[in-house]
Structure formats: structure tokens, C-alpha cells
Amino acid sequence: MLNIAFFSAKSYDEASFNKIKNNRDFEFHYHDFRLTPKTAKMAQGCEVVCAFVNDDLSAPVLKQLSIGGTKLIAMRCAGFDKVDLEAAKELGLQVVRVPAYSPEAVAEHTVGMMMCLNRRLHKAYQRTRDANFNLEGLVGFNFYGKTVGVVGTGKIGIATMRIFKGLGMEVLCYDPYENPLALEMGARYCSLEEIYANADVISLHCPMSEENYHLLNEKAFSQMKDGVMIINTSRGELLDSVAAIEALKQGKIGALGLDVYDNEKDLFFQDKSNDVIVDDVFRRLSACHNVLFTGHQAFLTHEALNNIASVTLSNVEAFFTGTPSGNELIN
């Protein structure tokens, strides 16, 4: 019997993993709270810890897990910037992930946020519920013929670009590594500076790294067109939220869609409706009529959840049978 401790587990996680467990000799232990130094003890005796994007996998936590008998960290997401890989290697822990569970899910959510912000669907919904059918303040613009800048042309970036091309948009893109699929669909690679200067919409689809931290900052915003729309469904730390507030106040940013936020770990995936939000930056952003938040929801489709569960359990089986899955993060 192999014991797997799940952290940050929600009802939809339980449903998807239980659905495909089948005859595997696994025992699932679900915890709805985050993995932290205080909660790591709940994994005692579990050979596998299945963690999510905002779980704390710093060196102190990994050490606790190792002492408790954990051999494998199975990330049920693509991102691993919260994992101290050097510490894991020193402790003899392997880390695996799910690199691409549903690029289309994130791509569709990205465009959904664009549509909602542009045509003020969230405002129209509230108005019509109050029998207010006034159209003042709801004027949008056509995406057809506009220029979109895509930062990051991996699987999610490419899936999003396909939709942009379907809308009749001109696609500029930036990535240190050119993707032939982007060129095939008629997108043009250029510098970030050219994207900033020409894009009506900027969409982020790149991983988090030291080089990318606050990629969109005060300097970047100053180079953009007035009224630019920015969508971030990638990583919260890519965008400097404090600088974004100033850019919103100045009209440099015309609309901002955020499915991620740089301090989201204390907010997202939790019901805070009866709490006082103490994050002043978040409060200032959410008070803006042209800012739309979704709580790290972009991945959340039935197809994505099924893929996450399937690949995660395959990763676990591969590790304990000594067969490389191709999703290992430690060589």
C-alpha cells in the first residue's frame, strides 16, 4: 500500500483522483489546507506528497517531509517555482510535475477575460439583475484587426495564439526560443519593446523565473500604448501590482485581467467572503472598475482535472517502478 498525502485538495481534486484510482494499491489522504512548515507533519508516513501551485516546498518543509518518510513530491501542476529543487536533490527526493494538462483550458479562459473586460459583461450582468438596461459605459472595441502581443510561446501561448488568429488579430510574440508553430500561423517574433509599443492587448504565458520577476513593471508600462489591455493567466509575480495601480490611475492600462496575483497564496483557493482582506494592494486593484480577478481558475475544466489526475498517478507509478516518466525535475 502506497500512501499519498494531498495538500490544497478541493472537492474537484478528490473526485478526479478517486475516479481514476481503479485497482491501484494507493491510499489517498486529502487535506484541504496548504502545505506549510506547520502542516507538513500531516504527511508523516506518506511516501508521496501531492502538492499544488501555492504549497510551500522550501528547504525546511522538504526536510520535514523527508524525515517523515516521503520519497516523492508529485506536483499536480506545471509550475514548480515554489519548490527548492537543490534542497530536494540533497535530501534524495525526486520531484515530478504535470507539464501540460490542458493548454486550451487556459487559452480559452484568457480570451474569456478579454471578452468580459472589453464588453463589460461583468458590469452588464450586475445591471440587468437590477433591471437596469442602460448601455452607457458599456462601449467596447473590435478585437478584429487589433494587435496582440503574446509573451511566451509554449503550449499555452500557442493555443491562445490560435484563438487570436481566429479573431482576426495581428499577433506579435516574444520568447527566447522561437516556436515553429507560431511562425506557421503567421505570428511575428519581435522584442518586448516592440510589443509594448504596438500591442493593443498583451497576454502573458511565460514561466516564473528570476529573470522574469516583475517583467511588467513601471518601466515596461511606460513604454506601452495608452489604454492597453493586459491579461495574466500565467504567474502572479510576472506583473508588478503596485506599478500596475499607478498605470491604471494614469490611464496607461485600460483594462487588466488577472487570474494570478503575486500574493495570491493567502487569498486564492479559499472562501474569504466573511473576512477582512488585509492586502491593501489587492484591495486597491479589485476596487478598479476595469480590473477583473479570477482566483487561479484558468485551468479548471473537467478535461484538465482528468489529465492532471492521470498524469500525476502515472508519474507516481513510474517512480516506484524505476521507469522514467519524462516529467522528473531532478536528474
**Cα dist from 163 to 110, 149, 150, 251, whole Å:** 10, 13, 12, 27
Question: Coil, strand, or helix at residue 328?
Answer: strand
Domains of the chain in sequence order:
2-101+301-320 (3.40.50.720), 103-293 (3.40.50.720)
> What is the pLDDT at residue 233?
98
Residue 23 has a pLDDT of 85
Per-residue pLDDT of 223-279, as tens digits, reads: 999 999 999 999 999 999 999 999 999 999 999 999 999 999 989 999 999 999 999
Segments of the chain with pLDDT less than 50: none
Q: 269 Cβ partners below 8 Å, 6+ apart?
A: 8, 10, 52, 54, 295, 296
| pLDDT at position 287 | 96
First to last CA, the chain: 27
Res 56: pLDDT? 97
- Are 208 and 235 in contact, with CB atoms under 8 Å apart? yes
Please identify which residue in the block is written with the cell numbers 508588478: 240
3-state secondary structure 204-272: ECCCCCCCCCCCECHHHHHCCCCCEEEEECCCHHHECHHHHHHHHHCCCEEEEEECCCCCHHHCCCCCC
What's residue 255's pLDDT? 99
Question: Residue 331 has what pLDDT?
Answer: 87
Q: Which residue has the cell 500512501?
A: 3
* Tens-place pLDDT, residues 300-324: 999 999 999 999 999 999 999 999 9
Known catalytic residues are: 235, 264, 296
